Amino acid sequence: MPAVQSKYDFFHNYEDIQAQNSTYAQRQFLLEEHMEKMPDEIIKSYLNKELEEEKSDKIDYSYSNNTQFIERKKTPVFFIESNPLLERAISLQKWRGIVEEVNKNFFKAKLINLTDKGFDEYAEISNDEITQEDTELIKPGAIFYWSIGYSHSSTGQRRRFSDIRFRRIPIWDEKEINIARKKAKKISSLIGWQ
Amino acid sequence: MKNKLPEIKRLIFVLRGNFNPIIFSPVWFASEKLIRKEEAEKAEIQIVHPDVVSFNLDWLRLQVTRDMFSVETIKEPYEEVLRDLIFATFKLLRHTPLKVMGINRSEHFRIDTIEKWHEIGHTLAPKSIWNNILDNPGLNSISTIEDSRRDGLKGYIKVQVEPSKRVHPGICVLVNDHFEVNNPEGIYGADEIINILENKWEDSLKRSNHIITTLVEKLDASGTK
């Protein structure tokens, strides 16, 4: 059975950060502001950290009854009251699109179904469907995600939405392209392609 | 259960390593074209400081401290966008030492009745052992771990079930898909973790969905109806 772990031991238990919990942060500069949100013993432990470290030099950690010292000498972690995300959404249908042809007012794309297995589809999509700032990303080979579904506002209002969002990743530089070419060449020679 | 579909579906992505938090401001993401300028302008910033950065976009919550990078979304259509953002960020910051990665899925399900809700708790943790120890014991949280990964990578998969704090009566199921680098002391960059992210992302999400769906179906079928 796994050992019981302290609620504040986020350094070793990051998985505890989840929907159920608030968020977290570390460091002394925020300590005063958030002091009331931390157990006193953790604050004291941090303020007396040097003392604890001196003590800990003499401790044999192999004995379980020293666990309290191991716990106490850690830098404290405390919660920042950040605003939770309120508007949630679930897609009914989701595609990954690849731009194949760009025209003045629309582009043609191949759509790969991400919701169900199925055949690839093709579509002509008007540039008006794309957020202004994303229009510069419409180029042959560009990847986008198209989702249709429902969003739920913080007040519980349910809305149908259709959203197209282009993938934003840094452009590969010449060095990376050369590395990829070398890898591809190596693989193709291994499987006997000319 | 009224509906076997979750009311809230959340993806939380966590990296452990060594970070310089102040880099991760909305302005930086926009200047690198990883998010839209308009999004950066409208970002809800809690703090941007050398030790901690925390801000929300319409679809994302991001927090970075010296040893942790965490992003999450409750807009399921944006999960691929989230992955691309992480991938792009650490492609640019490829010398950031990354040691641990968690792809964490949590889902909140509404339960038909309080009785059924208690029944689920009793199924997961039978209370007979607590007789004469506690009065009216209730399940607060239970976690189960698959100790070694089936894909041969270092890490584990942990499943946690607890009463939902967002949906009542409801349960929250969390799958923590945990990956570690082979030699954490000898790690000097982001490549190993980012390669795992690139190669295992889809498998991880599929596995988490499968775990949650199967568990919820079993819990729904359990006990007296």
Among B176, B179, B175, B177, CA closest to B154 = B179
In this predicted structure, the answer to whether residue A55 has a pLDDT above a threshold of 50 is no
Interface touch A19/B75, C-beta < 8 Å: no
ipTM for this prediction: 0.82
What percent of chain A stands above pLDDT 90? 29
Averaged over B145-169, what is the pLDDT?
A: 91
Location of structure tokens 């792809």: B103
A170 contacts in chain B (CB < 8 Å):
32, 88, 91-92
Residue B93 carries which DSSP code?
Answer: T
The pLDDT assigned to A81 comes to 58
Name the pLDDT band for B147 (thresholds 50, 70, 90): confident
Contact criterion met (CB below 8 Å) for B82 and B11: yes
Interface touch B100/A14, C-beta < 8 Å: yes
Among B167, B112, B29, B41, CA closest to A88 = B167
Q: How far apart are CA A163 and CA B77, in angstroms?
A: 9
The model's pTM: 0.75
B191 touches chain A (CB under 8 A): no
The pLDDT assigned to B57 comes to 94
- CA-based nearest distance B185→chain A, Å: 16
Q: From the CA atom positions of chain A, what is the Rg in Å? A: 27
If DSSP states are collapsed to H, E and C, what string results for chain A?
CCCCCCCCCCCCCHHHCCCCCCCCEECHHHHHHHHHHCCHHHHHHHHCHHHHHHHHHCCCCCCHHHHHHHHHCCCCEECCCCCCCCCEEEEEEEEEEEEEEECCCEEEEEEEECCCCCCCEEEEEEHHHCCHHHHHHCCCCCEEEEEEEEEECCCCCEEEEEEEEECCCCCCCHHHHHHHHHHHHHHHHHCCCC
Range scoring the smallest mean pLDDT among A60-64, A113-117, B124-128, B151-155 = A60-64
A19 contacts in chain B (CB < 8 Å):
8, 10, 12, 106, 108, 165-166, 172, 174
Contact criterion met (CB below 8 Å) for A49 and A29: no
Which pair of tokens denotes residue A124?
């002509």
Read off the pLDDT of residues A107-120 as tens digits, 9 standing for 90 and up. Answer: 999 999 988 877 88
Read off the pLDDT of residues B5-42 as tens digits, 9 standing for 90 and up. Answer: 888 899 999 999 999 999 999 999 999 999 999 999 99
The most confident of the ranges A24-38, A83-97, B201-215 is: B201-215
Location of structure tokens 């025209």: A103
Q: How far apart are CA B220 and CA B138, in angstroms?
A: 18
Name the pLDDT band for A148 (thresholds 50, 70, 90): very high
Name the pLDDT band for A15 (thresholds 50, 70, 90): very low
- CA-based nearest distance B64→chain A, Å: 8
Higher pLDDT, A183 or B31: B31
Choose, out of A30, A90, A139, the residue to mutate when testing the contact with B (most B CBs < 10 Å): A90
- CA-based nearest distance A6→chain B, Å: 14
Q: How far apart are CA B27 and CA B50, in angstroms?
A: 15
pLDDT, chain B, mean: 91
In this predicted structure, the answer to whether residue B150 has a pLDDT above a threshold of 70 is yes
Read off the pLDDT of residues A80-134 as tens digits, 9 standing for 90 and up. Answer: 556 778 788 988 899 999 999 999 999 999 999 988 877 889 999 999 999 999 9
Q: How far apart are CA B106 and CA B85, in angstroms?
A: 20
- CA-based nearest distance B117→chain A, Å: 18
Residue B110 carries which DSSP code?
Answer: E
Name the pLDDT band for A170 (thresholds 50, 70, 90): confident
Name the pLDDT band for A23 (thresholds 50, 70, 90): very low
B93 touches chain A (CB under 8 A): no
Range scoring the smallest mean pLDDT among A61-70, B21-30, B101-110, B181-190 = A61-70
Name the pLDDT band for A48 (thresholds 50, 70, 90): low
Higher pLDDT, A76 or A48: A48
Residues in CB range of A186: below 8 A, 6 or more apart: none
The pLDDT assigned to B14 comes to 94
Contact criterion met (CB below 8 Å) for A72 and A86: no
Detail the DSSP E strand segments found in chain B: 8-17, 44-48, 52-56, 61-65, 68-73, 98-110, 142-146, 154-163, 170-180
Name the pLDDT band for A12 (thresholds 50, 70, 90): very low
